[in-house]
Amino acid sequence: MKRLILPLTLLLAALPAYGQGFQKAKIRIDLDRLASKAEDVVEVTVEENMLRLAAKFLKDNDPEEAAVKALINGLKGVYVRAYEFDKEGEYSSSDVEGIRSQLQAPGWTKIVGVTSRREGMKVEVHTMYEGEKMLGVAIIAAEPKELVVVNIVGPIDLEKLSQLDGKLGLPRLELRSVTGRRAGRE
Protein backbone atom coordinates (compact mmCIF):
# COMPACT_ATOMS: atom_id res chain seq x y z
CA MET A 1 0.00 0.00 0.00
CA LYS A 2 2.82 2.42 0.88
CA ARG A 3 4.37 1.83 -2.53
CA LEU A 4 1.16 3.01 -4.19
CA ILE A 5 0.82 6.26 -2.25
CA LEU A 6 3.33 8.27 -4.32
CA PRO A 7 2.05 7.19 -7.75
CA LEU A 8 -1.53 7.74 -6.63
CA THR A 9 -0.73 11.18 -5.29
CA LEU A 10 1.00 12.13 -8.54
CA LEU A 11 -1.92 10.80 -10.54
CA LEU A 12 -4.45 12.74 -8.48
CA ALA A 13 -2.37 15.87 -8.80
CA ALA A 14 -2.18 15.38 -12.56
CA LEU A 15 -5.92 15.04 -13.04
CA PRO A 16 -6.72 18.75 -12.83
CA ALA A 17 -3.79 19.36 -15.13
CA TYR A 18 -5.29 16.91 -17.56
CA GLY A 19 -8.45 18.94 -17.54
CA GLN A 20 -6.51 22.19 -17.75
CA GLY A 21 -4.72 20.95 -20.90
CA PHE A 22 -7.97 20.74 -22.79
CA GLN A 23 -9.17 24.01 -21.31
CA LYS A 24 -6.26 25.75 -23.10
CA ALA A 25 -8.08 24.98 -26.34
CA LYS A 26 -11.21 26.80 -25.22
CA ILE A 27 -11.44 30.32 -26.61
CA ARG A 28 -13.54 33.20 -25.42
CA ILE A 29 -16.15 34.19 -27.99
CA ASP A 30 -17.44 37.69 -27.09
CA LEU A 31 -19.81 38.42 -29.98
CA ASP A 32 -23.08 38.87 -28.12
CA ARG A 33 -23.25 42.50 -29.24
CA LEU A 34 -23.71 41.25 -32.83
CA ALA A 35 -26.84 39.29 -31.94
CA SER A 36 -29.04 42.39 -31.90
CA LYS A 37 -27.93 43.28 -35.46
CA ALA A 38 -28.21 39.78 -36.91
CA GLU A 39 -31.17 38.41 -38.84
CA ASP A 40 -30.42 34.86 -37.74
CA VAL A 41 -28.42 33.77 -34.73
CA VAL A 42 -27.09 30.37 -33.75
CA GLU A 43 -25.64 29.97 -30.29
CA VAL A 44 -24.50 26.53 -29.23
CA THR A 45 -22.84 25.83 -25.90
CA VAL A 46 -22.58 22.17 -25.01
CA GLU A 47 -20.31 21.28 -22.12
CA GLU A 48 -18.79 17.88 -21.46
CA ASN A 49 -21.59 16.50 -19.26
CA MET A 50 -24.25 17.39 -21.81
CA LEU A 51 -22.12 15.90 -24.59
CA ARG A 52 -22.04 12.62 -22.69
CA LEU A 53 -25.77 12.78 -22.11
CA ALA A 54 -26.41 13.51 -25.79
CA ALA A 55 -24.17 10.58 -26.75
CA LYS A 56 -26.38 8.23 -24.67
CA PHE A 57 -29.39 9.15 -26.75
CA LEU A 58 -27.71 9.02 -30.17
CA LYS A 59 -28.86 5.93 -31.98
CA ASP A 60 -26.27 3.41 -33.06
CA ASN A 61 -28.49 2.10 -35.82
CA ASP A 62 -28.77 5.51 -37.50
CA PRO A 63 -25.65 6.14 -39.67
CA GLU A 64 -25.60 9.93 -39.17
CA GLU A 65 -26.25 9.76 -35.44
CA ALA A 66 -23.69 7.02 -35.07
CA ALA A 67 -21.13 9.20 -36.89
CA VAL A 68 -21.87 12.13 -34.56
CA LYS A 69 -21.64 9.80 -31.55
CA ALA A 70 -18.20 8.69 -32.67
CA LEU A 71 -17.07 12.32 -33.06
CA ILE A 72 -18.41 13.31 -29.64
CA ASN A 73 -16.36 10.65 -27.92
CA GLY A 74 -13.70 12.39 -25.81
CA LEU A 75 -14.86 15.95 -26.48
CA LYS A 76 -14.90 18.46 -23.65
CA GLY A 77 -17.05 21.14 -25.20
CA VAL A 78 -18.62 22.41 -28.41
CA TYR A 79 -19.21 26.14 -28.90
CA VAL A 80 -20.68 27.88 -31.90
CA ARG A 81 -21.64 31.47 -32.58
CA ALA A 82 -23.05 32.13 -35.99
CA TYR A 83 -24.63 35.38 -37.18
CA GLU A 84 -26.33 36.08 -40.48
CA PHE A 85 -26.98 39.71 -41.37
CA ASP A 86 -29.33 41.17 -43.93
CA LYS A 87 -26.72 43.63 -45.17
CA GLU A 88 -22.98 43.98 -45.35
CA GLY A 89 -20.95 45.95 -42.87
CA GLU A 90 -22.89 44.92 -39.79
CA TYR A 91 -19.71 43.68 -38.18
CA SER A 92 -16.10 44.80 -38.43
CA SER A 93 -12.73 43.16 -38.42
CA SER A 94 -12.16 44.45 -34.90
CA ASP A 95 -15.06 42.27 -33.77
CA VAL A 96 -13.15 39.23 -34.99
CA GLU A 97 -9.71 40.43 -33.83
CA GLY A 98 -10.45 39.56 -30.23
CA ILE A 99 -10.90 35.97 -31.25
CA ARG A 100 -7.98 35.89 -33.69
CA SER A 101 -5.63 37.25 -31.08
CA GLN A 102 -6.43 34.29 -28.82
CA LEU A 103 -5.51 31.99 -31.67
CA GLN A 104 -2.06 33.61 -31.85
CA ALA A 105 -1.26 32.19 -28.41
CA PRO A 106 1.32 29.40 -28.12
CA GLY A 107 -0.05 26.05 -29.00
CA TRP A 108 -2.41 27.17 -31.72
CA THR A 109 -1.50 26.46 -35.32
CA LYS A 110 -3.35 27.72 -38.35
CA ILE A 111 -3.68 24.71 -40.62
CA VAL A 112 -5.87 26.34 -43.23
CA GLY A 113 -6.25 29.98 -44.19
CA VAL A 114 -8.40 30.81 -47.18
CA THR A 115 -9.07 34.32 -48.35
CA SER A 116 -11.21 35.27 -51.32
CA ARG A 117 -11.21 38.94 -52.02
CA ARG A 118 -13.70 38.49 -54.83
CA GLU A 119 -16.17 36.90 -52.48
CA GLY A 120 -15.00 38.91 -49.49
CA MET A 121 -14.61 35.67 -47.60
CA LYS A 122 -12.01 34.50 -45.15
CA VAL A 123 -11.93 31.03 -43.54
CA GLU A 124 -9.36 29.96 -40.98
CA VAL A 125 -8.94 26.63 -39.29
CA HIS A 126 -6.72 26.51 -36.21
CA THR A 127 -5.76 23.46 -34.14
CA MET A 128 -4.00 23.00 -30.85
CA TYR A 129 -1.92 19.94 -30.10
CA GLU A 130 -0.02 18.78 -27.11
CA GLY A 131 2.48 16.35 -28.52
CA GLU A 132 0.44 13.88 -30.49
CA LYS A 133 -2.76 14.70 -28.66
CA MET A 134 -5.19 17.13 -30.22
CA LEU A 135 -6.60 19.57 -27.67
CA GLY A 136 -9.02 21.46 -29.85
CA VAL A 137 -10.07 23.17 -33.05
CA ALA A 138 -11.18 26.72 -33.83
CA ILE A 139 -12.80 27.74 -37.11
CA ILE A 140 -13.50 31.33 -38.11
CA ALA A 141 -15.50 31.88 -41.28
CA ALA A 142 -16.09 35.52 -42.11
CA GLU A 143 -18.23 36.59 -45.07
CA PRO A 144 -19.74 39.99 -45.84
CA LYS A 145 -23.14 39.01 -44.41
CA GLU A 146 -22.18 36.11 -42.19
CA LEU A 147 -19.80 35.46 -39.34
CA VAL A 148 -19.26 32.00 -37.89
CA VAL A 149 -16.98 31.00 -35.05
CA VAL A 150 -16.70 27.36 -34.03
CA ASN A 151 -14.63 26.10 -31.11
CA ILE A 152 -14.42 22.38 -30.40
CA VAL A 153 -12.49 21.44 -27.29
CA GLY A 154 -11.10 17.95 -27.32
CA PRO A 155 -9.80 15.54 -29.92
CA ILE A 156 -11.84 15.50 -33.13
CA ASP A 157 -11.33 13.94 -36.51
CA LEU A 158 -11.55 16.88 -38.93
CA GLU A 159 -11.81 14.67 -41.98
CA LYS A 160 -14.80 12.82 -40.56
CA LEU A 161 -16.27 16.09 -39.38
CA SER A 162 -16.10 17.54 -42.88
CA GLN A 163 -17.88 14.45 -44.23
CA LEU A 164 -20.96 15.25 -42.16
CA ASP A 165 -21.82 18.29 -44.25
CA GLY A 166 -25.35 17.88 -45.68
CA LYS A 167 -25.97 14.60 -43.93
CA LEU A 168 -27.44 15.69 -40.65
CA GLY A 169 -30.91 16.54 -41.82
CA LEU A 170 -30.04 20.22 -42.15
CA PRO A 171 -29.71 22.06 -45.47
CA ARG A 172 -26.18 22.90 -46.47
CA LEU A 173 -24.68 26.20 -45.40
CA GLU A 174 -27.90 27.40 -43.87
CA LEU A 175 -27.94 28.78 -40.41
CA ARG A 176 -30.84 27.79 -38.23
CA SER A 177 -31.47 29.38 -34.90
CA VAL A 178 -31.61 26.72 -32.23
CA THR A 179 -33.14 29.11 -29.78
CA GLY A 180 -35.49 30.58 -32.32
CA ARG A 181 -34.18 34.04 -31.57
CA ARG A 182 -34.49 36.65 -34.24
CA ALA A 183 -32.19 39.62 -33.93
CA GLY A 184 -33.94 42.88 -33.18
CA ARG A 185 -37.25 41.19 -32.50
CA GLU A 186 -36.84 40.37 -28.82
Partner 1 sequence: MSRLDDELKVALQRKEAPPDFTARVLARVAELPPPPVSRWQRFLALFRLPQVRFAVVAVAACLVISLTFGVQQYRKYQEMRREAEIAKAQVMLAFQIASAKLNVAKQKVSRVAEKSAVSEAMPPEDRVEPQAAAKSQRKKR
Query: At 152, which helix (H) or strand (E)?
Result: strand 146-153
Q: For residues 13-48, b (16+ Cβ closer than 10 Å) or e, as one string?
A: eeeeeeeebbebbbbebebeebbebbbbbbbeebeb
- How many residues touch partner 1 under the rule CB under 8 A: the total is 46
> Which phi and psi angles does 132 have, rounded to 5°?
-90, -10
Q: Does 114 bind partner 1 (CB under 8 A)?
A: yes
- Window 71-100: contact mask with partner 1 (x via CB under 8 A): xx-----xxx-x------------------
* Interacting residue with partner 1 among 8, 66, 105, 112 (CB under 8 A): 112
Q: Does 54 bind partner 1 (CB under 8 A)?
A: yes
Binding to partner 1, residues 163-182 (CB under 8 A): 163-165, 168-170, 172-173, 175-176, 178
Which of 146, 135, 19, 129 is closest to 80 using CA atoms?
146
Q: Does 135 bind partner 1 (CB under 8 A)?
A: no
* Interacting residue with partner 1 among 27, 31, 51, 183 (CB under 8 A): 51
